[in-house]
């Protein structure tokens, strides 16, 4: 896929639409002096910022490139964001909900059902512009933690803790066996979801998303399955 030009991109998925909606809601709430309340312009800039950062990284992330991608004047960015760090933090915050604690607790089904939906949404999120930016952030935080740590903690770091929260709650409720190591299981689950995205060649992404239920079921059974108790619910049939 030509990220720079947008050529060949498929119709927006529900996850991508969710990112756009989150951006509009976020900028509509901003009341800082000197920052115009035009949610459509700001949301467009935040989406463009994710695209530029995802494709070019921190070194290629500039106000000029974001303005060009968003089809707005660079001065519009300076009216809203003090520097590119501020802009990137705002852009990444629109993707935070993709990595949030999607498990709503016992009232929303069995642990297996809730975990399956969490895995589906997380993998799907990685196959979006926001997801690519988050993967880029994971690498750059290791290379330049002093520069990228705040952005990492507010997005990817939050996702890691969210996954552990889901597992800790499941263990406390008896859905996971008592000997479950929540940190190790959470790391294995996070790694499996991320690796599923990284190991998929670009030309197979549409097929992968079309078989998302199957992939989520296999990951759930293989990674989480050995630690489930009878109270967790029934795993999907192979």
Domain residue extents for the chain: 14-93, 104-229
The predicted model gives 19-30 an average pLDDT of: 47
Q: What is the per-residue pLDDT for 9?
A: 40
Burial of 14 (0-12, 13-18, 19+ CB in 10 A): exposed
Backbone dihedral angles phi then psi of residue 5, each to the nearest 5 degrees: -95, -20
Q: Which residues of 56-82 are buried (b: 16+ CB within 10 A; e: fewer)?
A: eebeebebebbbebbebeeebbeebbe
Output the six-digit token pair for 67.
């303005």
SS3 of residue 90 by DSSP: helix
Integer Cα distance of 67 and 76 in angstroms: 8
State pLDDT tens for residues 69-112: 999 999 989 989 999 989 998 888 776 655 555 555 555 789 99
Closest CA to 193 of 135, 123, 121: 123
Backbone dihedral angles phi then psi of residue 150, each to the nearest 5 degrees: -65, -45
Instruction: With a cut of 60, say whether residue 32 has pLDDT above it.
Output: no
Q: What is the per-residue pLDDT for 131?
A: 87
Tell me which DSSP letter residue 176 carries: B
What is 104-229's CATH number? 1.10.357
Q: What is the per-residue pLDDT for 172?
A: 94
Integer Cα distance of 49 and 30 in angstroms: 18
Query: How many percent of the chain have pLDDT more than 90?
Result: 52
The predicted model gives 120-140 an average pLDDT of: 89
Tokens 């670009």 sit on residue: 202
Mean pLDDT (the chain) is: 82
What would the DSSP string read from start to end of 119-134? Answer: HHHHHHHHTSHHHHHH
State pLDDT tens for residues 164-222: 988 999 999 999 999 999 999 999 999 999 999 999 999 999 999 999 999 999 999 99
The pTM of the full predicted model, rounded to 2 decimals, is: 0.74
Given the candidates 3.60.140.10, 1.10.10.60, 1.10.10.10, 3.40.50.300, the CATH classification of the domain at 14-93 is 1.10.10.60
- CB 90: neighbour CB atoms within 10 A? 19
What lies within 8 Å, CB to CB, of 222 at 6+ separation is 192
The predicted model gives 36-56 an average pLDDT of: 84
Q: Do domains 14-93 and 104-229 have the same CATH topology?
A: no
The predicted model gives 10-21 an average pLDDT of: 46
Instruction: With a cut of 90, say whether residue 161 has pLDDT above it.
Output: no
């Amino acid at each position: 896929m030509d990220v720079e030009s947008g050529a060949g991109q498929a119709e927006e998925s529900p996850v991508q639409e969710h990112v756009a909606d989150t951006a509009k809601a976020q900028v509509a709430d901003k009341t800082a002096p000197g920052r115009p309340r035009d949610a459509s312009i700001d949301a467009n800039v935040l989406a463009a910022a994710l695209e530029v950062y995802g494709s070019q990284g921190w070194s290629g992330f500039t106000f000029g490139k974001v303005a060009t991608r968003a089809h707005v004047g660079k001065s519009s960015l300076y009216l809203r964001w003090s520097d590119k760090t501020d802009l990137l933090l705002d852009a990444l915050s629109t993707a935070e909900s993709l990595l949030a604690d999607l498990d709503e607790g016992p009232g929303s089904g069995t642990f297996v059902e809730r975990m399956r939906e969490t895995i589906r949404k997380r993998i799907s999120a990685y196959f979006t512009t926001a997801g690519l930016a988050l993967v880029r952030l994971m690498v750059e935080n290791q290379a330049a933690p002093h520069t990228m740590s705040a952005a990492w903690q507010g997005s990817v770091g939050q996702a890691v803790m969210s996954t552990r929260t889901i597992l800790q709650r499941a263990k406390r409720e008896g859905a996971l066996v008592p000997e479950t190591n929540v940190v190790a299981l959470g790391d294995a689950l996070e790694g499996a979801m991320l690796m599923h995205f990284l190991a998929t060649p670009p030309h197979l992404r549409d097929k992968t998303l079309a078989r998302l239920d199957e992939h989520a079921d296999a990951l759930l059974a293989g990674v989480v399955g050995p630690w489930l108790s009878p109270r967790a619910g029934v795993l999907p049939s192979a």
